[in-house]
Structure 1
Amino acid sequence: MAKVAFLGLGVMGYPMAGHLAKKGHSVTVYNRTAAKAERWAGEHGGAFAKTPAEAAQGQEIVFCCVGNDNDLREVTIGASGAFQAMGKGTVFVDHTTASANVARELDAAARAAGFGFIDAPVSGGQAGAENGVLTVMCGGDDAVFQRVEPVIMSFARACRLLGPTGSGQLAKMMNQICIAGLVQGLAEAVAFGQRAGMDIEAVIDVISKGAAGSWQMENRYKTMNQGKYDFGFAVDWMRKDLSICLDEARSNGALLPATAMIDQFYAEVQRMGGGRWDTSSLLARLNQTK
């Protein structure tokens, strides 16, 4: 069992930290809203800290899952950041969906201070976090990864090192590019079927077992067909992720025409007031003139 800290108790971090405690690890948590950290500690029997540095003090591994690059810098190299308190030979594992550049920046800072860094964004959404079945995509040194993988598996069903620092974030970008296309295709198919008078449930039951099948189809078509968008990953978050993908593409020369178009479709959903709807709300955009 390890002594660990977890920074950031949002919809993902709260249950992820909970699974670490359930597996018997000694967990100290930090959250910008202190009351949430105190509540977590009351539920799971761990400790809570007032600053990231305080949470990181004396820990073997510090996990993190915050909002974006700037939030990540604040809890790591900021005035009361965790990097101030991390000892030599410890490891910082970042589950934030962020840029590959900030992963490389923080890895360099960690190396200079004598501890390890793994960028480890996750896929599986809130349900995956709550059920402890996330997919974790990692970048960093193999020796460091081998030390933290067993602990990561407390809340994951798959965890793999995909290359040097930044590779986890690049893999997450690929994941989000795929999801954007899948959801748009599913939204168009459902909208088409609705206007054609088809029995959507019957059709999806058939085509989901063929070449068109996907996780999105199996898990989102029913609520999409009902016009309900209160499940899973929010449009605001998806636009943040797609902006990271598009920025990286501008840097490496990759062409992402469909991703750029779908990003603008999500911007339309935001203008409709759907920033907190889940990503399947692309259907609402197609049906707004129905």
Structure 2
Amino acid sequence: MENPVCSPPESAADHAGIQEMDILLVGAGKMGLPIARNIQRRGHRLSVLDSSAERRDLARAQGLKIAPTLESGLASAKVLITSLPHDAAFESMASEIVACMKPEQIYVDTSTVSLAASQRVSRAFQEAQIPWLRVAVSGNPQMVEQKQSTTIASGPLEVYQRVLPLLRLLGEAQFHVGPRDEARVMKLAINLMVSGLSALLAEALALGQKAGLDWATMCEVIAASAAGAPVVRAKVAQIKHYDFAPTFTVGQMRKDVGLILDAGMDLRVPLPQTGAVAQLLLQASALGFDSEDYASVIKAVQQSAGLPLHG
């Protein structure tokens, strides 16, 4: 892997010459929509393509232009960005992109997909001479909306430098970590830690609750302690009120943990703790929490410990 390239602090000059850029974004989902809004706010001409009528209506209601087809959207676009939910959607869209895209256009994929799917698509793009970046966006939709996410890119460095002003619209930190699929691995490694921390938080809260500690007090102490990493602090601020409104659902985290375990199998890296987290997420899903925040593993542990499902 190449040495990571971290971008310097943003300045007014960073956006010079890009205000007239035409961009097509495919996938107006939970992450794609705030990405699109942030880019359009900077004055770029952006259009959105999505197979869901509901998501198209939502994008249109938020002032975004809808592209009728991929071909028409690419007719004037300099950059294509995709934010797709899984391997099948990613690979299906990639086959259409290969047929429509021109070598002078740039493709940026922000989807969380498997290494195997990314490698298959990479071979097709290489044959078509289409430059592309894999860009992992670390953070939830609210963090993207507030320009607090971190972007981790891999692919040709020259292409990365050309789209860096766009990536700066999503957050304060940007990294280039290699020429191929390194960003995919880095995103999985980060999500491995996030999912593991949620499982540890669930066990810690259940242990304290069983011993009679006050729920809100536990959350405050954990946030202020040595264990209060940023993701833990953000989560306990929500869980303090026993609020499981989703920033990222149990189902979405199950999908990502599955990708992590697949990568571990492919790379021959044992991941026993992540395997246990996968089972805990499955338990939460079986209990009916699949559409709630992934922190609902807390409720799964509470139930296993014979505790009431409240804070």
TM-score bracket for this pair, using the shorter chain length: over 0.9
2:172 pairs with 1:172: no
Question: Once structures 1 and 2 are overlaid, which stretch shifts more, 60-69 or 123-132?
Answer: 123-132
CA RMSD in angstroms comes to 1.7
Identify the range of structure 1 (7-16 vs 210-219) with the bigger mean alpha-carbon deviation. Answer: 210-219
Contact 2:109 2:135 in 1 (8 A): yes
Alignment check: 8 A CA contact 1:120 1:168 kept: yes
* Cα distance per residue 1:194-221 (max 9 Å; x no partner): 1212234334434433321112321122
Q: Which residue in 2 is equivalent to 1:83? A: 98
Equivalent position of 2:245 in the other structure:
230
SS at match of 1:156: coil
Contiguous gaps of at least 5 residues in structure 1: none
Q: How is 1:240-259 mapped onto 2 (pairs within 5 angstroms)?
A: 240-259=255-274
| Counterpart code for 1:254 | V
Q: Which AA in structure 1 matches 2:129?
A: G
Which position in structure 2 is the counterpart of 1:11? Answer: 30
Deviating more after overlay: 52-61 vs 136-145: 52-61
Match of 1:72 in 2: 90
Deviation at 1:35, TM superposition (A): 4.9
1:107 equivalent in structure 2: 122
Structure-2-length-normalised TM-score: 0.86
What one-letter code is carried by the residue in structure 2 that aligns with 1:47? K
Deviation at 1:279, TM superposition (A): 1.0
Structure-1 residue corresponding to 2:133: 118
On the 8 A contact 2:29/2:55 being kept in 1, the answer is no
Number of equivalent positions = 286
- Tell whether 2:33 aligns with 1:33: no
Classify the secondary structure of the residue corresponding to 2:248.
Answer: coil
Distance 1:156 1:121 in 2: 12
- Contact map agreement 2:199 2:280 (CA 8 A) in 1: no
- Residue in structure 2 matched with residue 135 of structure 1 by the alignment: 150
Partner of 2:233: 218
One-letter code aligned to 2:49:
Y
Q: How does 1:200-211 map to 2 (within 5 A)?
A: 200-211=215-226
Counterparts of 2:135 and 2:100, CA distance in 1: 21
Give runs of aligned pairs for residues 184-195 of structure 1, distance below 5 A: 184-195=199-210
Runs of 4 or more off by more than 4 Å in structure 1?
A: none
Give the superposition deviation at 1:260: 0.5
Deviates more, 1:149-158 or 1:48-57: 48-57
8 A contact 1:224–1:281 mirrored in 2: no
Taking only the aligned residue pairs, the percentage that are identical comes to 24
Matched residue, 2:75: 57
- The CA deviation at 1:222 is 4.1
How far residue 285 of structure 1 moved from its aligned partner, in angstroms, is 0.6
Contact 1:52 1:76 in 2 (8 A): no
